[in-house]
């Protein structure tokens, strides 16, 4: 993208290109967060309404009330921003921004489709989880600084709960990483291309188990019912955001809903094929072949480098494939969020000791079993979901390494460690690819 | 501490203790059912002491009763247990009738059974729904309210009001039921039977609900009797006592010829009586008692209410038939300035929340010399402090919710 901007501006390797590229990505992602929150809050109201045998919003914005959240947002902005006398004013004021910033920043590394990503990060899995984990700070800050005992209770619960659930969550995420041999979310998604049997959730029984445990832990990690103890209204009034009002209060909600989408999208990338649909429509229609994809810079694929004009060289096939990919991921993520809503409106809330028991007694051992089982499955080379369809999991992996020509393999064999150039994402990607070569040769070559 | 078990949460917290914190839960708190104020002494999540404070809804109802005539006080009884206003009306009406030695005509008797049992259903639906709310589940609340709304529609047709009815009065009722009311009531009952299994699925058998309520707030039969608990709270502890069976004759004769069960587990076996009521094919069997549940815990108190609703449906069905079979007068309300004899009378009825007693002393005037109401919620609430020792914070809504108190009745 940066190169593309520089190309348009006829600059050579200028920093301006990087700034513009970052701004474009930032603004686009901000819209995903804001519009996503609007949509999900509206969805939550409609879904809860249907579950509870009522209508939900019906007036604002036409028949389905889909502008209700916007109207409420305007109301919240117009409300007085109250800071309690007892509050630690500075911390109280920045707490919501910390939360929103954390869940917003996690979107940077989330690939919406192959190449449609804010910043290509080779350790995207790690990055997303780490940044998302920062969200707990906002809750602790809010609870600590509010000067209210109920808020403090909420913050303490959140701290205990979220930190505990990071353990099984991390163990679940390791399973796809281990099977795919990469922490790159784009690659993990691409390796599940093809029919839905290729999805990692259907890889073997242990990945199926892991997917379920992941979803449970993710629900707990983003504080959704039945694990929403930090804001348990029947016990703690409103938990950590008891004292908040107006815009700051709504920022907490934007953070909550965008985190929900991130963990759901992460689930779909790690276990449910990411941007790839259950049936490879693009392949069937002959729109593109896999080797068109798999690079880190979207702009150069959609707009050819030497095309000159802006739309003259638009590679329509890839653009359509990416659009479908984005639609797929958004749809899967939304389904995940819908399931969370469904659970929220059906179940009572757990008690704090039950939440911790669930984590330490059930989720952690189950995640461990899933991890060990999946490892054993790979080591013993047992049949996997994708072998049913006779489509090797590692075809893409091989294609990807093949892209780098034989020299990559040679370099790997000569044990020469290549230091990636900091500006060169391709080189950085290559460094990771090199490590994956043995896996793909041993495992993929056989099938 | 020495006598405590090692896994007592108080012992565990003592090892890593920090300062204790005093917290006001209420009077403005979502789960204190109105304006109950609980002062909690907490150590982290563990609550070591709970002290209920009442009086935030005190409206001098008894004193007002000593300045109004018997019939004029009826609207004030509505505002005591505002979730079961019909049953409050009934209690006051019965005590005045007892004082005046007035005998109700047959049709009026059946009308009162219909109305008071419908009131019981409505009240238990709210108890069930808000209990779900206390435990963090919003949906059962709306399911309960949806059904209650239908009952309120029926009540509105009968008397014009939806919450504070003032319908049953000393001497009978302000009016007979409207012409096609019983048909609509039958239709409601038929629809309602379909809903009961849904409510059981949402809460009674839900595993999270069970883990939140089973074994929590266990109250022995002796303790329930000692503290004067009544109603579902008492029966949830396995005490076979229901004023519709065991009450004063003037009250029990209202239920003459009716067949229904007292919902109460046998303390020896822990089993509830077999449902001998053909309800809805066989799909309305009582759900299984979960293994974790202990007689006298929150789950049993909730369960008793759920099953009592079924018995109330059964009673209303019988009452409608009897009501339709009888003709004539439904009772004449007493005069607004009816003189009360120089004597005293006390009468307890089985209101949805327990025994609601009214005491009245007349001095020959139409205005009583003394009026007193004995509230069931008041006694039921008194067990809060002993039950909430060494529990977790989240158990407080579970325990207080299972007692199902209405502050209007406690403070009066």
Poorest-pLDDT segment among B32-46, B65-79, B291-305 = B32-46
Rama region for A244: left / alpha / beta (φ>0; ψ in -120 to 50; rest): beta
Query: In angstroms, what CA-CA distances link A98 with A41, A202, A261?
Result: 21, 37, 18
Contact assignment for B137 to A54 by CB distance below 8 Å = no
In terms of Cβ atoms closer than 10 Å to its own Cβ (0-12, 13-18, 19+), residue A257 is: buried
d(CA B397, CA B407): 15
| pLDDT on residue A444 | 37
Most confident of the following: A411-415, A442-446, B345-349: B345-349
Closest CA to B77 of B100, B59, B101: B59
**Residue in A54, A153, A348 closest to B137 by CB:** A348
Please tell me the distance from the alpha carbon of residue A362 to that of residue A359, in angstroms, as a whole number: 6
Task: Give the global pTM.
Answer: 0.79
- Residues of chain A found within 8 Å of residue B9, distances taken between Cβ atoms: 353
- Judge whether B67 and B78 are in contact, CB under 8 Å: no
State which residue of chain B sits closest to A224, comparing Cα positions.
B136
| Min Cα–Cα distance to chain B from A45, Å | 12
Contacts of B142 in chain A (CB under 8 A): 52-54
pLDDT at B359: 92
Q: Is the peptide bond before A72 cis (omega within 30 degrees of 0)?
A: no
- The whole-chain average pLDDT of chain A stands at 75
Q: Do B142 and A53 touch (CB under 8 A)?
A: yes
Alpha helices in B102-216 (DSSP H): 106-134, 139-159, 181-199, 207-213
**Locate tokens 């004292």: which residue?**
A243
Using a CB-CB cut-off of 8 Å, the residues of chain A touching B208 are 226, 347-350
Give residue-wise pLDDT tens across range A125-171: 888 888 888 888 888 888 888 888 888 888 888 888 888 888 899 88
Task: Compute φ and ψ for B356, nearest 5 degrees.
Answer: -105, 115
> Strand ranges (DSSP E) for B247-385?
344-351, 354-361, 370-374
Interface of A with B (CB under 8 A): 48, 51-54, 149-150, 153, 156-157, 225-226, 228-229, 232-237, 345-354
Residue linked to tokens 């489709």: A113
pLDDT above 60 for B275: yes
Using the beta-carbon criterion (under 8 Å), do A237 and B203 form an inter-chain contact?
no
For chain B, which residues make up each domain, given as ranges? 61-411
How many Å apart are CA A178 and CA A163, to the nearest integer?
Answer: 23
Tell me what the mean pLDDT of segment B111-127 comes to: 91
**Shortest CA gap B138–chain A (Å):** 6
Contacts of residue A29, defined as CB under 8 A and 6 or more positions apart, other chains included, come to: A104, A107, A108, A118
Compute chain A's Rg from CA coordinates. Answer: 23
Q: Is B202 within 8 Å of A354 when comparing Cβ atoms?
A: no
Tell which CATH architecture fits domain B61-411. Answer: Orthogonal Bundle (1.10)
Q: How many alpha carbons lie under 13 Å from residue B244 in its C-beta half-sphere?
A: 25
Helix A316-344 / helix A246-270 crossing angle, nearest 10 deg: 110
State phi, psi for B280 to the nearest 5 degrees: -155, 65
Q: Are A348 and B396 a contacting pair at CB < 8 A?
A: no
Q: How far is B150 from chain A (nearest CA, A)?
A: 14
**What local confidence, expressed as pLDDT, does residue A313 receive?**
44
> Stretch B400-410: mean pLDDT, rounded?
87
- The Cα–Cα gap between A93 and B244 comes to 59
How many helices (H) and strands (E) would you count in chain B?
17, 9
Return residues 367-396 of B near A (CB < 8 Å).
392-396
* 8 Å CB contact of B206 and A347: yes
pLDDT at B277 over 70: no
Chain A interface mutation, best of B8, B135, B205, B302, highest count of A Cβ atoms under 10 Å:
B135
Closest CA to A368 of A218, A174, A171: A171
Residue of B nearest to A151 (CA): B23
Q: Residues near B146 by Cβ (< 8 Å), separated by ≥ 6?
A: A53
First to last CA, chain B: 40
Residues of A in contact with B21 (CB under 8 A): 149
Tell me the CA end-to-end span of chain A in Å, nearest whole number: 36
- Which among A321, A444, A433 is positioned nearest to A386, based on CA atoms? A444
In this structure, the number of other CB atoms found within 10 A of the CB of residue B18 comes to 8
Query: B25-71, pLDDT tens digit by residue?
Result: 878 777 777 788 888 888 878 888 888 888 888 888 888 988 988 88
Residues facing B25 on adjacent strands: B38
DSSP characters for B173-206?
ESSPPPTTHHHHHHHHHHHHHHHHHHHIIIIIT-
Mean pLDDT, residues B116-123: 91
Q: Testing the interface with B: which of A237, A342, A344, A351 to mutate, by most B Cβ within 10 A?
A: A351
């Amino acid at each position: 993208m940066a190169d593309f901007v520089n190309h348009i501006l006829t600059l050579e390797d200028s920093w301006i290109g990087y700034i513009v590229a970052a701004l474009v990505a930032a603004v686009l992602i901000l819209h995903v967060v804001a519009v996503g929150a609007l949509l999900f809050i509206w969805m939550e109201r409609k879904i809860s309404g249907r579950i509870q045998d009522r209508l939900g919003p019906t007036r604002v914005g036409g028949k389905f009330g889909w502008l209700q959240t916007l109207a409420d947002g305007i109301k919240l902005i117009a409300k007085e921003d109250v800071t309690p006398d007892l509050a630690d004013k500075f911390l109280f004021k920045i707490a919501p921004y910390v939360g929103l910033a954390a869940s917003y920043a996690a979107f940077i590394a989330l690939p919406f489709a192959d190449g449609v990503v804010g910043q290509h990060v080779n350790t995207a899995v790690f990055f997303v989880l780490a940044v998302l984990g920062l969200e707990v700070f906002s809750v602790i800050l809010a609870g600590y600084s509010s000067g209210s005992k109920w808020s403090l209770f909420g913050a303490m619960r959140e701290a205990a709960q979220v930190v505990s659930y990071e353990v099984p969550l991390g163990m679940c995420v390791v399973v796809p990483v281990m099977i795919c041999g990469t922490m790159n979310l784009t690659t993990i998604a691409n390796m599940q291309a093809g029919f839905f049997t290729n999805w990692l959730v259907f890889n073997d029984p242990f990945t199926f188990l892991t997917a379920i445990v992941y979803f449970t832990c993710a629900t707990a990690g983003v504080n959704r019912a039945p694990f929403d103890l930090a804001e348990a209204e029947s016990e703690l009034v409103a938990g950590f955001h008891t004292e908040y009002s107006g815009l700051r209060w709504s920022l907490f909600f934007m953070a909550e809903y965008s985190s929900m989408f991130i963990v759901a999208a992460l689930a779909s990338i790690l276990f449910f094929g990411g941007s790839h649909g259950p049936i490879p429509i693009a392949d069937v229609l002959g729109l593109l072949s896999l080797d068109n994809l798999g690079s880190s810079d979207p702009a150069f694929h959609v707009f050819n480098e030497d095309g000159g004009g802006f739309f003259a060289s638009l590679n329509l096939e890839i653009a359509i494939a990416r659009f479908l990919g984005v639609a797929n991921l958004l749809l899967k993520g939304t389904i995940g969020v819908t399931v969370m809503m469904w659970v929220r409106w059906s179940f009572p809330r757990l008690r704090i000791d039950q939440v911790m028991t669930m984590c330490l007694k059930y989720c952690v051992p189950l995640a461990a079993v899933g991890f060990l089982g999946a490892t054993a499955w790979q080591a013993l080379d047992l049949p996997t979901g994708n072998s049913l369809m006779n489509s090797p999991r590692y075809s893409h992996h091989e294609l990807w390494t093949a892209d780098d020509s034989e020299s990559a393999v040679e370099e790997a064999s000569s044990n020469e460690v290549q230091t990636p150039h900091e500006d060169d994402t391709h080189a950085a990607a290559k460094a990771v690819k090199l490590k994956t070569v043995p896996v793909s040769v041993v495992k993929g070559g056989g099938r | 501490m020495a006598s405590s078990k090692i896994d007592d949460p108080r012992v565990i917290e003592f090892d890593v203790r920090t300062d204790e914190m005093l917290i006001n839960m209420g009077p403005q708190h979502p789960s204190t059912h109105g304006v109950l104020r609980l002062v909690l002494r907490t150590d982290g999540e563990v609550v070591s002491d709970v002290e209920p404070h009442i009086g935030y809804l005190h409206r001098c109802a008894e004193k007002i009763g000593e300045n109004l005539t018997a019939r004029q006080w009826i609207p004030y009884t509505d505002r005591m247990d505002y979730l079961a206003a019909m049953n409050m009306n009934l209690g006051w009406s019965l005590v005045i009738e007892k004082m005046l030695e007035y005998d109700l005509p047959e049709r009026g008797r059946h009308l009162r059974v219909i109305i008071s049992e419908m009131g019981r259903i409505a009240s238990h639906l709210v108890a069930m729904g808000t209990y779900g709310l206390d435990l963090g589940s919003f949906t059962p609340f709306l399911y309960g309210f949806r059904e209650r709304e239908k009952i309120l529609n029926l009540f509105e047709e009968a008397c014009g009001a939806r919450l504070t009815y003032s319908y049953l009065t000393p001497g009978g009722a302000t009016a007979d039921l409207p012409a096609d009311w019983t048909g609509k009531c039958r239709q409601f009952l038929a629809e309602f039977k379909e809903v009961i299994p849904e409510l059981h699925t949402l809460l009674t058998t839900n595993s999270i609900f069970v883990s939140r309520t089973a074994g929590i707030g266990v109250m022995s039969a002796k303790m329930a009797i000692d503290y004067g608990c009544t109603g579902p709270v008492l029966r949830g502890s396995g005490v076979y006592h229901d004023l519709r069976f065991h009450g004063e004759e003037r009250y029990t004769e209202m239920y003459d010829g009716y067949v229904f069960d007292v919902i109460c587990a046998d303390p020896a076996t822990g089993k509830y009586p077999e449902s001998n009521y053909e309800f809805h094919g066989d799909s309305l069997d009582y759900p299984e008692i979960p293994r974790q549940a202990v007689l006298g815990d929150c789950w049993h108190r909730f369960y008793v209410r759920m099953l009592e609703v079924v018995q109330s449906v059964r009673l209303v069905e019988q009452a409608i038939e009897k009501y339709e079979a009888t003709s004539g007068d439904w009772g004449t309300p007493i005069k607004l300035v009816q003189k009360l004899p120089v004597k005293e009378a006390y009468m307890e009825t089985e209101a949805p929340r327990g025994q609601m007693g009214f005491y009245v002393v007349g001095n020959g005037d139409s205005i009583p010399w003394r009026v007193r109401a004995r509230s069931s919620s008041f006694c039921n609430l008194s067990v809060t402090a002993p039950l909430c020792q060494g529990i977790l914070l989240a158990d407080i809504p579970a325990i207080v919710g299972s007692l199902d108190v209405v502050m209007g009745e406690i403070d009066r």
